[in-house]
Amino acid sequence: MRPLKKVKFVDLSRQHASIRAKLAETALRVIESGNYIGGSELKQFEKEMAAWLGVEEICGVGCGTSALYGALKCRGIGPGDEVITTVHTAIATPESITLCGADIVFCDIEKDGFNIDLDQLESKIGPKTKAIIPVHLYGQPFDVEKARRIAQKHGLFMIEDCAQAQGAEFAGKKVGTFGDAATFSFFPSKTMGGFGDGGAVTTKDRDLLRKIRMFLNHGRESKYLHEFEGTNSRLDALQAALLRHCLEQIDEWNSKRREAAAIYNEHLSGIDAIKTPKKFPNTTPVYHVYVILAPDRDALGAHLKEKCIDSGVHYPYSLNVLPAYARLNQGKGYFPRAEYACEHVLSLPLYPGIEREEIEYVCETVRKFYAQ
Ligand SMILES: Cc1ncc(COP(=O)(O)O)c(C=O)c1O
């Protein structure tokens, strides 16, 4: 096998290479404009992203966490209410529930995948439940139709957390268009990463979206007329302007992600020890991360490192075992599937721009590890 340079987990400079000149030109234009908060760049980005997603309106916000927080808070969710979400996600998802003063109800993940188990979710619905936040984890859509049926049956507000899945589809339609609301993150390594923090929220309820927009801008629409207290979490003009270029690329970037995943699937098939990501019916994933289930995960990660290959673990801890959630008294053993996942998942390098040769080198290295 030909020795390679380091295989990075993500290489944003490679991903951005084809738009680097445009990005630099735009950055300079915004800097010279002197308009850094709100303004036409933000409006234009919101318009373009709404058109791309196929919704009437989106609101750019400071980050994906604020998008979730704003949606829950402005929907009136607060103390005494319960919100159900998956125990296998970034902490931002449950954090937004706590930020509103509501109680988190964690749910374990499905048997053959990493998304919330919708059957268990239904059994957790009680009189205090007001909302559910399933997450399209790793860029793999959850069954949005089934989740929507459950939400409708029980009169619950459903937020699709699309932070890791911008551009993924369910039954040929983009995720983020099925729930009562949907949230996005532009954290740099996300499928449409920006150049710092950023996020977006959308909902068909125009009054709710207006309220969220105001809430994340100190409760106002005009400069000094604050209708209520909110907070400050806006998408910067510079970020919005740069994201317009990313939006032009996202479909191509996502197809490159899918191509890379297909190469992994092909080359890793036949290694009996590991499990590659399952493809669920009706889904078009975007592989925000390419996650395998691997015995001796830590040893495999160390072996890859020795061979100059970066890898990641999403996530090393199931949220229920973290000190942050000790108050829930749901320690080890409570969510066996998520806990098993956390002990066995390994994310392999994947980003738009990774080369076939690099993927083949990673796969060959994995194969040799299990052949030892
Ligand atoms: C599933 C999920 N939800 C929400 C967020 C929060 O996004 P942000 O980092 O933009 O606040 C993240 C980011 O890690 C995420 O992965």
Determine if ligand 1 sits within 6 Å of the CB of residue 64. Answer: yes
> How many A from CA of 71 to the centre of ligand 1?
14
Pocket probe mutation, ligand 1, options 66, 87, 162, 164, max atoms within 8 Å of Cβ: 164
> According to the 3-state scheme, what is the secondary structure of the chain?
CCCCCCECCCCHHHHCHHHHHHHHHHHHHHHHHCCCECCHHHHHHHHHHHHHHCCCCCEEECCHHHHHHHHHHHCCCCCCCEEEEECCCCCHHHHHHHHCCCEEEEECECCCCCCECHHHHHHCCCCCEEEEECECHHHCCCCHHHHHHHHHHHCCEEEEECCCCCCCEECCEECCCCCCEEEEECCCCCCCCCCCCCEEEEECCHHHHHHHHHHCECCEEECCEECCCCCECECEHHHHHHHHHHHHHHHHHHHHHHHHHHHHHHHHCCCCCCECCCCCCCEECCCCCEEEECCCHHHHHHHHHHCCECCECCCCCCHHHCHHHHHHCCCCCCCHHHHHHHHHEEEECCCCCCCHHHHHHHHHHHHHHHHC
Residue 5 CA to ligand 1 center (angstroms) comes to 31
Closest atom of ligand 1 to 137 CA is 1
Average pLDDT over residues 234-263: 98
pLDDT given for residue 35 in this prediction: 96
Ligand 1 center–CA 155 separation, angstroms: 26
Distance 65 CA to ligand 1 centre (A): 6
135 Cβ inside 6 Å of ligand 1? yes
**Does domain 251-371 match CATH 3.30.70.1560?**
no
Q: Ligand 1 pocket, 289 CB below 6 A?
A: no
Q: Identify the residue whose C-alpha is closest to ligand 1 atom 16.
A: 90
Which pLDDT does position 290 carry in this prediction?
A: 98
> For the packed helices 237-268 and 20-33, what is the interaxial angle rounded to 10 degrees?
160
**Residue of 79, 76, 96 whose CA lies nearest to 161:** 96
Is the CB of residue 185 below 6 angstroms from any atom belonging to ligand 1?
yes
Locate the ligand 1 atom nearest the alpha carbon of residue 197 and give its number. 10
Model confidence over 113-166: pLDDT tens digits? 999 999 999 999 999 999 999 999 999 999 999 999 999 999 999 999 999 999
Q: How confident is the model at residue 3 (pLDDT cuts 50, 70, 90)?
A: very low
pLDDT of residue 4 exceeding 80, the answer is no
Domain spans in the chain, listed from the N-terminal domain onward: 16-244, 251-371
Per residue in 286-320, pLDDT (tens digit) is 999 999 999 999 999 999 999 999 999 999 999 99
**Is 0.85 topped by the overall pTM?**
yes
pLDDT in tens, 316-340: 999 999 999 999 999 999 999 999 9
Which residues, 6 or more positions from 132, have their beta carbon under 8 angstroms from its beta carbon?
Answer: 83, 84, 85, 121, 147, 150, 151, 156, 157, 158, 159
Q: Does domain 16-244 have CATH number 2.60.40.420?
A: no
Distance CA 295, CA 222 (A): 57
Residue of 89, 93, 109, 185 with the most ligand 1 atoms within 8 Å of its CB, for mutation:
185
Instruction: Say what the pLDDT of residue 137 is.
Output: 98
Interval between CA 245 and ligand 1 midpoint (Å) = 21
- Distance from Cα 321 to the centre of ligand 1, integer Å: 19
Task: Determine whether the shortest distance from the Cβ of 129 to ligand 1 is under 6 A.
Answer: no
Residue 272 Cα to ligand 1 midpoint, Å, equals: 33
Is the CB of residue 63 below 6 angstroms from any atom belonging to ligand 1?
yes
Q: Is the CB of 184 under 6 A from ligand 1?
A: no
pLDDT digits (tens, 9 = 90+) for 6-59: 999 999 999 999 999 999 999 999 999 999 999 999 999 999 999 999 999 999
Cβ–ligand 1 contact at 96 (below 6 Å): no
Count of other CB atoms within 10 angstroms of residue 231: 16
pLDDT of residue 2: 55
Q: Which atom number of ligand 1 is nearest to the Cα of residue 66?
A: 11
pLDDT digits (tens, 9 = 90+) for 342-365: 999 999 999 999 999 999 999 999
Q: What percent of the chain has pLDDT over 90?
A: 98
